[in-house]
Structure 1
């Protein structure tokens, strides 16, 4: 499970974002023509299903892809396998701080610029800016991948003076189908602008690191032989 339900701030009518990794027949990986490596299926307005081929997933893990890492950390798991448990057991080794910070920083900046700079804003968009900011702060402080749950990020990384306002919005969002529009909340906007500037400065000086293919190649071949 992914997005708002896994993050812990779903509305009553939030859809179900189901994510999975799949493996094709061994022969498919030996063909000259490349197969599509994504399965996308939206059953209705409630169920959104998206899967990645194992080869794509492992290549993205090598690059410390934050989306794949979030999938692996979801608190809501419908089904797992021994093969996936082996992969999830090494994911933390492939987390790169710089990649993670720049991913969440870009997300926060983009959502803030697009949704929260006018006098009237979509209030739910505050969560889509605050969460990636807190994820950046977590990475910079703890040097690990941030947790999925917004409540955990908020408890660890959000300034105490902002918590009552964020909790107020959070309770409204959980209880109503649509948070709706409202006046821009200046105290939150000021916090966002301050944090974005500070995170950008810190991100620039994170040491570049690189992952190794050996473990991933071994896991991939083992999976194909099963």
Structure 2
């Protein structure tokens, strides 16, 4: 069976991805900062499914700790599925945000998935197979609903997924962007928030199970809470209509006077 590497695998969305992919028979490389949690999860999955589990402890905001993960993505046995799940939030608005905290968030939410994808994509293209799952957020589509830079980081993840898919789908590599809405994970506590004050929170198991249905259907963008796929189709059609005007060599009439 193939091997999947999952970042942020010690809890929440990443841990459920690990359980689901192990149940499908995939060997795993699980990555996070919490060594004890990773080892406990690895023991559980080896016993339950008889799969091989590698554990890499790494803070992906630290270049020195990121490097072994990049090396694993470039080495054998090859990684067939990369799940870019590790991420964090940052409460507060842009005007008052701590620059050091913003820098750290950008390294985790933007730089890390970019470098991880870069490390694995060449081998996937060469083999003509592979999958990349990027966990973004519905806030990528609603940035005005979120103060600060979090939504912007997730917009990047969505855009990266879309542009990468256009580049590599024809070469046998599948890219999926998963856009959760409010989901019951530790991201709220770690950012200093209170999830009990958030309405309509989805359970993590439901989120990942839905995302894997989208994965099996080879969706480019999977938004588990949206009830009618026609809403997304309409959004994409409107984007196409907007794009049809980009090739005009003269400004639109409303800008001439």
Q: Which TM-score applies when normalising by structure 1?
A: 0.28
Q: Which has the higher contact order (CA 8 A, sep 6+)?
A: 1
Comparing both structures, which one devotes a greater share of its residues to helix?
1
Q: Which TM-score applies when normalising by structure 2?
A: 0.26
